[in-house]
Structure 1
Amino acid sequence: MEWFGAPDFALSRLVLQRLLALVYLVGFVAAARQFRALIGEHGMLPVPRYLRRRGWRQAPSLFQWGYTDRRFAMVSWSGAAVAAAVLAGAADAVPLGAAMALWAVLWVLYLSIVNVGQTWYSFGWESLLLEAGFLAVLLGNAEVAPPLPVLLLYRWLLFRVEFGAGLIKLRGDPCWRDLSCLRYHHETQPMPGPLSWYFHHLPAPLHRVETAANHLAQLGLPVLLFAPQPFASVAAGAVVVTQLWLVASGNFAWLNWLTIALAFGALRLPGSGRSAMGAAPLWFEVLVLGCTALLLVLSYRPARNLLSRRQLMNHSFDRLHLVNAYGAFGSISRVRFEVVLEGTEEAVLTERTVWREYGFKGKPGALSRRPRQYAPYHLRLDWLMWFAALSPEYARPWLRPFAERLAAGDRGTLRLLRHNPFPDRPPHWVRAVSYRYRFTTRAERRATGHWWHRSDPRPYLAPVSRR
């Protein structure tokens, strides 16, 4: 079938696959480095306890055959090794079937992690990685031209990511409609980056331009992804530019980089490599067309969700995360609150008790510490602390276990933090306090050197004893 292959997208496929392999690598390394304290056998939300209530249908995962921390580490580091090999070009150095098997292994391993990760893996970019990763199994390698049906599925995925995010904004917070949301967003976003202070202090008219440009990028450009070339490439290129703007203004794990990767399903780059490609084997064409038909059928519910007034955001309609609904920041916080963990060595608590603060790697804490750049790496605890500041309900299952582990001096938990104020022995008590945070003004920054100002401390979690 001559129409099946799209050799003009050979280089675009190469970039897409390498970026996707890089994101897989980051995801597996983050899982390996953080899981013990979060979901390990003695973690805040242990996987064994979770699996006792859920079988294969509710949580398809390799860990249904038995979970230990050692097995989780093996899955994570094995996934990282395969992802690194694919990133280095292994999938193009082996036959087509073997290349597909490599991508399938990555998908199965990461699916096994996500489906037992509970609230720590409830972010939309987990489903996005799995959906994009499943399509990568069908994308072929250097032996064959990129399959046009799969490239179109990548465009359909990118359309849902961008258009879904645009619709959830228009249907949500009024500040998106009056173009004022970005007056607040750079300050109140989950994890500000090194440049966020400067973005926040842009003139108000530029914030309105930012917001209007966001609507254009998410509601106008995605429609052109299905237009003939070069219009589709122009739209995809504009998506790349807008995502790089988001990369510069904050930390959103690998969401932006994965969205950039998807754009290469429509962005045609020069250099086709036609002469090096053979015709796709019949079995490959049949498999791709069969999976395409399946995914189009499964797309009914996400498509209907886009049209619904009760649009769901970052929702998976099946446990395999094959076709999902996406969206972000349907509402914007006007005021930033931060939950701060503190400990004391004093056995008896009084009004004069001296409390010392734990430092997190990514979330705001010390007023003089400039926000750091961590994306595409995902600091799961820091992100959940942002949700905890929005409402105690988000933190109810895990915050007290977190404080208990700090009081016990648990090494795995302490490795998730930047600073432990009790290096010699654990504190007697640990508590949580909520503060109101805001970026300093330019004058305050010059006078104090601080990036943040905080005020209005309020109790959040009653002191937890070492005992």
Structure 2
Amino acid sequence: MEWFSAPDYWLSRLVFQRALAALYLVAFVGAALQFRALIGERGMLPVPEYVRYAPMRRAPSIFQLHYSDRFFACCAWAGAVLSAALLGGAADHLPLWTAMLWWAVLWALYLSIVNVGQTWYAFGWESLLLETGFLAVFLGNERAAPPVLVLWLLRWLLFRVEFGAGLIKIRGDECWRRLTCLYHHHETQPMPGPLSWFFHHLPGPLHRVEAAANHVTQLLVPVLLFTPQPVASAAAGLIVVTQLWLVLSGNFAWLNWLTIALALSAVDFSALAGPHPLPAPPLWYEVLVIAATVLVLALSHRPVRNLLSRRQAMNRSFDPLHLVNTYGAFGTVGRVRYEVVIEGTDERVPRPTTVWREYGFRGKPGDVRRLPRQFAPYHLRLDWLMWFAALSPAYARPWFGGFVERLLENDRDTLKLLRGNPFPDAPPTYVRARLYHYTFTDWRQLRSTGAWWQRRYLREYLPPTRLSTTDVPAERV
């Protein structure tokens, strides 16, 4: 079947696979370094407790069969090693079926993590990585030319990512229709980056241009992905440029980088790379690719219905394997930035004169003089959830109490997620949380004070709290 293969896209496949392997590596390393405090045996939302009421059919995972912190760490680090080897091109030197199995193992390992990760893994880029990773299983290696069907499925995925994000904006916050959302977004986004302050202070007309360009790139350009070359390559290039702009303006884990990888799979690099003879694919491979294509198309009806619905859902998986999902981001943009600031004291009895020491986070705003850092594509899960906690205590109810308890214990794994421990010698006796309103400073304030932020105290978020004992109940002052 000559129509089955697209040998001119051999370099597109190589670039895409290397980029995907790099993002898998980031995801597995992040899981290995953060899981103990978040979902470990003594974590805020422990996996053993979760799998007791989440059946295998709803959350398929190898951790349904067995869980221990050591086993989870082995799986996460194994995923990181396998990803690093793929990044180095190891799969291209193996038989086709072995390379496919390698990609499938990565997908299964990360699916197992996501399906027990609970709220810490409830982000659209988790499903996007899994859906992309599933398609990568059928993309093959140097033992066969890239299959046309999988290349089209990657474009179909990219279309849903971009078009879904465009629709949710147009249907959502009226500031997107008025082109004014970016007056606020750079300041109120979950985790600003080192350039976000500068993006925020761009002239108002340029913010309107940003918003209009976003609508063009997400609602019109994706349609061009299905046109002949070189138009499809040009459309993919525009998406790459837009995503790089987003990379510079904030921290969105690997969402932008994975979107870039998908866009690069649609670029025809044949003019740069030249011919690269590849063997004809075996029959069994063709059958598997066709079967996978039929499955994806069959499962696409619910995401399509969601796209067409006036009640479009944002970032939803319709099956426990995360095979075909719906995507969207920032249908609503906040006008005000709230931050929960956590403090502790080692005084035995809190008084009005008590000195409280603040816990610093790695990514989320805290110290007003600290320039926001760049972390993406690495994902700081606790920092992101703290942004939601500031919006409403309901978002934090399942885990915030456990977080405070671990601070009162000076729990080593929890403190590793923070920038520093203000109580290195002994745990604090009390911990409290306060809600602040944060805004970027202007140029004059920055020059005179050196502060990137200014903040105003709003109210108590959690009163001073200490650990309970057998004799003394948990006390709030």
Q: Shorter-normalised TM-score: what interval?
A: over 0.9
The structure 1 segments of at least 4 consecutive aligned residues displaced by more than 4 Å after TM superposition are 271-275
State the partner residue of 1:165. Answer: 165
State the partner residue of 1:328. Answer: 329
Distance across 2 between alignment mates of 1:8 and 1:256: 26
CA deviations over 1:8-59 (Å, ceiling 9, x no partner): 1110111100000000000000000000000000000000000000121011
Q: Compute the TM-score of the two structures, normalised by the length of structure 2.
A: 0.97
State the partner residue of 1:124. Answer: 124
Q: CA deviation at 1:274?
A: 4.3
* 1:97-246 equivalent positions in 2, closer than 5 A: 97-246=97-246
CA deviations over 1:435-467 (Å, ceiling 9, x no partner): 000000111001101000000231111222134
Matching of residue 397 in structure 1 with residue 398 in structure 2 = yes
Distance across 2 between alignment mates of 1:256 and 1:336: 23
SS of match in other structure, 2:419:
strand
Residues 4/273 of structure 1: CA separation in 2 closer, same or farther (3 Å cut)? farther
CA deviations over 1:362-418 (Å, ceiling 9, x no partner): 000101100000000000000000011111110000011100100110000000000
State the partner residue of 1:341. Answer: 342
Q: CA RMSD in A?
A: 0.9
SS of match in other structure, 1:454:
strand
SS of match in other structure, 1:52:
helix
Residue type of the alignment partner of 2:284 = W
Maintained 8 Å contact 1:409/1:425: yes
SS of match in other structure, 1:277:
coil
Q: CA deviation at 1:272?
A: 5.4
Residue type of the alignment partner of 1:403 = V
CA deviations over 1:84-115 (Å, ceiling 9, x no partner): 00000011111111100110010000000000
Q: CA deviation at 1:262?
A: 0.5
SS of match in other structure, 2:257:
helix
CA deviations over 1:344-365 (Å, ceiling 9, x no partner): 1111122222111000000001
Distance across 1 between alignment mates of 2:277 and 2:435: 61
* 1:400-415 equivalent positions in 2, closer than 5 A: 400-415=401-416
* 1:244-259 equivalent positions in 2, closer than 5 A: 244-259=244-259
* 1:252-331 equivalent positions in 2, closer than 5 A: 252-270=252-270, 271=272, 274-331=275-332
Unaligned runs of 5+ in 1: none
Maintained 8 Å contact 2:123/2:315: yes
* 1:381-460 equivalent positions in 2, closer than 5 A: 381-460=382-461
State the partner residue of 1:463. Answer: 464
Residue type of the alignment partner of 1:294 = L
Residue type of the alignment partner of 2:407 = L
Q: CA deviation at 1:245?
A: 0.3
Q: CA deviation at 1:304?
A: 0.7
State the partner residue of 1:353. Answer: 354
Maintained 8 Å contact 1:10/1:273: no
| Percent of residue pairs identical | 69
State the partner residue of 1:51. Answer: 51
Maintained 8 Å contact 2:410/2:426: yes
Residues 272/281 of structure 1: CA separation in 2 closer, same or farther (3 Å cut)? farther
Maintained 8 Å contact 1:143/1:276: no
Q: CA deviation at 1:302?
A: 0.3
Distance across 1 between alignment mates of 2:465 and 2:114: 30
SS of match in other structure, 2:112:
helix
Maintained 8 Å contact 1:407/1:466: yes
Distance across 2 between alignment mates of 1:273 and 1:150: 22
Residue type of the alignment partner of 2:180 = S
Q: CA deviation at 1:285?
A: 0.4
Residues 309/409 of structure 1: CA separation in 2 closer, same or farther (3 Å cut)? same
Maintained 8 Å contact 1:437/1:454: yes
Maintained 8 Å contact 1:9/1:272: no
Maintained 8 Å contact 1:152/1:265: no
SS of match in other structure, 2:184:
helix
Residue type of the alignment partner of 2:63 = F
Distance across 1 between alignment mates of 2:458 and 2:50: 35
Residue type of the alignment partner of 2:72 = F
Distance across 2 between alignment mates of 1:303 and 1:266: 21
Residue type of the alignment partner of 1:379 = L
State the partner residue of 1:20. Answer: 20
Q: CA deviation at 1:273?
A: 6.2
Residue type of the alignment partner of 1:287 = L
Q: CA deviation at 1:193?
A: 0.4
SS of match in other structure, 2:53:
coil
Distance across 2 between alignment mates of 1:112 and 1:88: 24
Residue type of the alignment partner of 1:318 = D
Residues 257/168 of structure 1: CA separation in 2 closer, same or farther (3 Å cut)? same
**Number of residue pairs aligned between Structure 1 and Structure 2:** 467
Maintained 8 Å contact 1:317/1:323: yes
SS of match in other structure, 1:436:
strand
SS of match in other structure, 1:328:
coil
Residue type of the alignment partner of 1:326 = Y
Distance across 1 between alignment mates of 2:144 and 2:430: 62
Maintained 8 Å contact 2:7/2:277: no
Residue type of the alignment partner of 1:342 = E
Distance across 1 between alignment mates of 2:92 and 2:465: 54
Distance across 2 between alignment mates of 1:224 and 1:81: 37
Maintained 8 Å contact 2:15/2:265: no
Residue type of the alignment partner of 1:306 = L
Maintained 8 Å contact 1:7/1:273: no
Distance across 1 between alignment mates of 2:278 and 2:177: 49
SS of match in other structure, 2:389:
helix
Residue type of the alignment partner of 2:394 = E
Distance across 2 between alignment mates of 1:268 and 1:299: 26
Unaligned runs of 5+ in 2: 469-477
CA deviations over 1:186-219 (Å, ceiling 9, x no partner): 0000000010000000000000000000000100
